Amino acid sequence: MYLLERINAMVKEQGKAVGDSIVNVDTLLNHRIDYTFSAYAGAVLARIVRDQHIDVILTAEASGISVAVFTAMTVNNEQWPHPASVVFAKKSRPITLPEGGYHVVDSFSRTKNKPVQLFLGSHVIQPGDKVFIVDDFLAKGATMAALGDLVTMAQGEIVAFGVVLEKTFEHGRDELTRFGAPVYSLVKVTSLADGEIHLAPPSLS
């Protein structure tokens, strides 16, 4: 439990409430990356799938990448010599993805406050691959659900969803129930009232 408690403490120490709906953790995850924080988060997320083989750890460009990499490091220490690959869905289509060579879904970016599309090369997740979806935030669930849809399009199997920060008051878990996979979060933000980040007691659930 120590790492989970430390993760929550770091969010409390460095996070900032922006209005009543945005948590700013840009000195931890999504502007200046604190690799100690990412390493802690990855180690704890890896516990979730400790007893299962994982082929792919999937996230979205860009803030989830550091957490996904550290999750893979711990996962791969335990399931070597069959390592999991880190895959991130792209928010624009590169020229390396030809027509007919990718899956695409519509989503919505809360931080950019606009619709986005997520692209996944059809060659990076194979049918039957066991996929652990991780990301930095779970708010209304749009990005995580879009990642889930990409896995479904690729005919992979979602083992679990893991997120670093969940804004429980935005009920994003409801968007993920259709996938039939468990959802875990490390930090549960229950409210941003009065310009303060209010957290639930640390728990891996």
Tell me, letter by letter, the H, E, C secondary structure of 161-204. Answer: EEEEEEEHHHCHHHHHHHHCCCEEEEEEEEECHHHCCEECCCCC
Q: What is the dihedral of CA 12, 15, 16, 19, to 10 degrees?
A: -90
Query: Mean pLDDT, to the nearest integer, of 149-167?
Result: 98
Which pLDDT score is estimated for 138?
97
Which among 158, 176, 128, 200 is positioned nearest to 49, based on CA atoms? 158
Q: Is the pLDDT of residue 110 over 80?
A: no
Q: Is the pLDDT of residue 113 over 80?
A: no
Contact at 8 Å (CB) between 132 and 54? Answer: yes
Q: Is the pLDDT of residue 1 over 70?
A: no
Q: Is the pLDDT of residue 27 over 90?
A: yes
Architecture of domain 2-199: 3-Layer(aba) Sandwich (3.40)
Q: Is 115 exposed, middle or buried (0-12, 13-18, 19+ CB in 10 A)?
A: exposed
- Give yes or no for a cis peptide into 81 (omega within 30° of 0): yes
The 8-class DSSP code of residue 141 comes to S
Distance CA 8, CA 6 (A): 5
